[in-house]
Amino acid sequence: MMPDVSRSACSSTAKIHVIDGVEPLGTQIGVFPKRTIPEALREVLFGQQDMMVAGDSSRRDSETQTAPPLQTYAVLDAAKVANLPELLEDSGLEHRCLFKGDAYETLKNVAPWIVRLEEESHFTRSLFTQSKASWHLWSVEPGIFLRSRHGLDEVWRHFRKFTRTQNRQGKWFYNRFWDAGAPG
């Protein structure tokens, strides 16, 4: 599942793309260079569209600016990925837990984490590789992927709003939006 959480100052857009038939990477033993992402997902997850930021009609063409590049993020479930906080730390990729405070301290090993993916990262390859090795994560369906022109902190703030929901009786529940298999 692939939400696009791009957002401008004037409006918010979200597009969900379900891409069927994607085959995971294998172990690629003896393959060089190793692929880090299935070819069917390369453009969707790491392609850049030429997007211009449209100014109002009073602006001159010379004032139109190129939009910031799209970043690729994953919201991953530490309940599905053993040692996810440590794996993210070792990856060198920018990441952050969606929980904070007491929830972070108590639940960080089963909490959702957001990570900004880089196409050539070993961690990115692990997400898309299927094998019996514990660090190959395709089989555990670890989370969701999204694109945004915003930095990690802004995307983190946006998604934190959805980690909990309140029922009509006022009781709070965790909303597992990052688990594509969870009831919605």
pLDDT tens for the chain, residues 1 to 184: 344 443 333 345 667 777 888 899 999 999 889 999 999 999 889 998 654 454 444 445 555 567 889 999 999 999 999 999 999 999 999 999 999 999 999 999 999 999 999 999 999 999 999 999 989 999 999 999 999 999 999 999 999 999 999 999 999 998 888 887 766 5
What's the whole-model pTM score? 0.81
Helix or strand holding residue 147 (H, E): strand 143-148
Helix or strand holding residue 165 (H, E): strand 164-166
